[in-house]
Amino acid sequence: MPRFSRLLAALVLSCAAAIPAFASPAGVWELETRDTRFGLDLCGDGTQLCGELVWLSDADYNEQYKPYLNKPMAQALRPSGPGKWKGTLHLFGHKLSGTITQHSENHMTLSGCAFLVVCKTYQMYRHTP
């Protein structure tokens, strides 16, 4: 029996090592275009992800998006795997079915689809002032 316990412990440790351990997704994340930032935080029971549009550059094309500033873009996205959350996104006036996936401490992707056919993926990087 002790041999089985050691084998089980080794298996659990090797599986745990295979699951990526990232820093919390909480913080400010900037799109790769460097013109938009979202604030993300864990919410609900502490495993859900919430966020809002917190900053827009002063580029002319962003004028149309100012009504969405400081408004929710993700409310209680549910975890769907390690570093991955799914749910409804509200991006720039569009309601999308989306996923936010954390790839590393400082890199995420935000993917969303409207009507299951119009899809877009954004690269996001942790913003450090």
**pLDDT tens for residues 69-95?**
999 999 999 999 999 999 999 999 999
Could you write out the DSSP letters of every residue in 46-61? TTEEEEEEEEE-S-GG
Residue 57 in domain: yes
Quote the mean pLDDT of the chain.
86
Residue 17 in domain: no
Task: Provide the pLDDT for residue 120.
Answer: 92
Residue 3 in domain: no
CATH assignment at residue 74: 2.40.128.520
Residue 19 has pLDDT above 70, yes or no: no
pLDDT tens per residue, range 91-126: 999 999 999 999 999 999 999 998 878 899 999 999
Residue 16 in domain: no
Residue 17 has pLDDT above 90, yes or no: no
CA 114, CA 97: separation in Å to the nearest integer? Answer: 7
Residue 5 in domain: no
CA 101, CA 29: separation in Å to the nearest integer? Answer: 12
Task: Provide the pLDDT for residue 115.
Answer: 83
Residue 82 in domain: yes
Q: How confident is residue 2, by pLDDT bands cut at 50, 70 and 90?
A: low
Tokens of 47: 């495993």
Residue 36 in domain: yes
Q: How confident is residue 10, by pLDDT bands cut at 50, 70 and 90?
A: very low
Task: Provide the pLDDT for residue 100.
Answer: 97
Domains: count for the chain: 1
- pTM beyond 0.75: the answer is yes
The parent domain of residue 48 ranges over: 22-126
pLDDT tens per residue, range 25-53: 999 999 999 999 999 999 999 999 999 99
